[in-house]
A = this chain, B = another copy of it.
Amino acid sequence: MKPTEVLSQITPLSADCMQAIDELTEQKHYTKGSIIHPSGKVCKHLYFIESGLLRFFYHDRDAKDVTYQFFGENLFTSVINSYYTQTPSLYNIEAMEDSSLYVLRFADFEALLSRFPELDKVYHSVLREFLLSAEQRIISLQFYSAEERYRNLLENQPSILQRVSLGHIASYLGINQATLSRVRSKVRL
């Protein structure tokens, strides 16, 4: 799907607005393993994932690589805090699979916002989704054990488990890989 299709499911958009979005949006393809945005730079783009899978990750003090978040198809994403606060992104964004993205400069998006107030609703909705998922994440980290977190993931986003290596999932859950392997074999029974 194209970004405008998804957006207009949230709220109907005028043809003008959709066209303006299309014009400013650039489609890009990334091969598996490539870095879409490097840490240390302010993230100035919004990404819409047409196909593929992205991973936000982070280099730990010990240079270990820790996954912060995954994003799959039909989602919008960006290192929001980096743009909002105009500080370097902590995260790298990496394509976990060959991925097709639509890229929009944040500044262009803001210009669109003031030109088409109808986009405000869309923006709210996207922010809200981010917020809800962040809250879920907090609850999962604060209240649940390693095993429960794994079970939750299994229930809510089973597709990710098939598409991503164990090590990445482990760090995403805040668990050691060896532990996750044990949990998993226990759960399989």
Using a CB–CB cutoff of 8 Å, the interface residues on chain A facing chain B are 58, 60, 66, 68, 80-81, 84-85, 90, 117, 120, 123-124, 127-128, 130-132, 134-135, 137-139, 141-143, 174
Measured CA separation A130–B80 after assembly (Å):
12
Measured CA separation A20–B133 after assembly (Å):
32
A interface majority secondary structure: helix
User: With a CB–CB cut-off of 8 A, which chain B residues contact A85?
Assistant: 132
Shortest Cβ distance from A123 into B: residue: B124
- Name which of A135, A137, A141 has the most chain B CB atoms within 10 A of its CB: A135
Measured CA separation A84–B66 after assembly (Å):
31
Measured CA separation A143–B137 after assembly (Å):
13
A168 CB, nearest partner CB in chain B, Å: 13
Measured CA separation A130–B66 after assembly (Å):
24
User: With a CB–CB cut-off of 8 A, which chain B residues contact A58?
Assistant: 143
